[in-house]
Amino acid sequence: MSDSLDRLYAAILAARDLDPESSRTAKLFQRGITKMAKKIGEEAIEVAIDAINGDSEAVVRESADLLYNLAVLWVACGIRPRDVWREMERREQLLGIAEKLPKSTGKMPRVSSPPVAVPQARRPIVALPGRGKQS
C-alpha cells in the first residue's frame, strides 16, 4: 500500500501547479488548505455512512477518495508519506501494533520524533446541525 500512496503523492506533486480548469488537484491547491481539510471531512463522513449502510463497494470507493484528499493535504502541509510511516513505526514500537495512542500523556512514554513544519491555518467556526456553533 505504501508504494501506491507514494505514487499518488508523486502524482499530486506533479499536478499541483497545473491548470485548475483541467486538474482537480490544482483546483484544490488554488482553493487552499481550508478547502482541502473540508474535503477530507466530507470523504470521511461518506465512508462512515456507507459502512453503516453496509455498502462495502461504496466504502472502497470513498476510502480511495479519502486517501487522495489526505495525500493532497499532506503535500500542502509539507508532510511526506514516509513521515506518516515513521509515526506508524514509532507506535508499533511502543505498543506492538500501530494503533492510535492514548490521549493522556501519563499513560504512554513519549518518544521524540523530528518536527514537521506545518503552516498555521486559522480554524473556521463550523455550525453543526442541531449543535449550534462549534470551534
Residue extents of the structural domains in the chain: 2-103+120-134
> Based on the number of CB atoms within 10 Å of its own CB, is 118 exposed (0-12), middle (13-18) or buried (19 or more)?
exposed
Q: How far from each other are the two terminal CA atoms of the chain, in whole angstroms?
A: 34
pLDDT at 134: 43
pLDDT at 101: 64
Tens digit of each residue's pLDDT, the chain (135 residues) = 678 999 999 999 999 999 999 999 999 999 999 999 999 999 999 999 999 999 999 999 999 999 999 999 999 999 999 999 999 898 888 877 756 667 664 454 544 444 444 444 444 444 444 444 443
How many CA within 13 A on the CB side of residue 8? 18
Considering the four listed CATH numbers 3.40.50.970, 1.10.3450.40, 1.10.287.1080, 2.40.50.140, the one that applies to the domain covering 2-103+120-134 is 1.10.287.1080
Integer Cα distance of 109 and 121 in angstroms = 29
- The pair phi, psi for residue 26, each rounded to 5°, is -60, -35
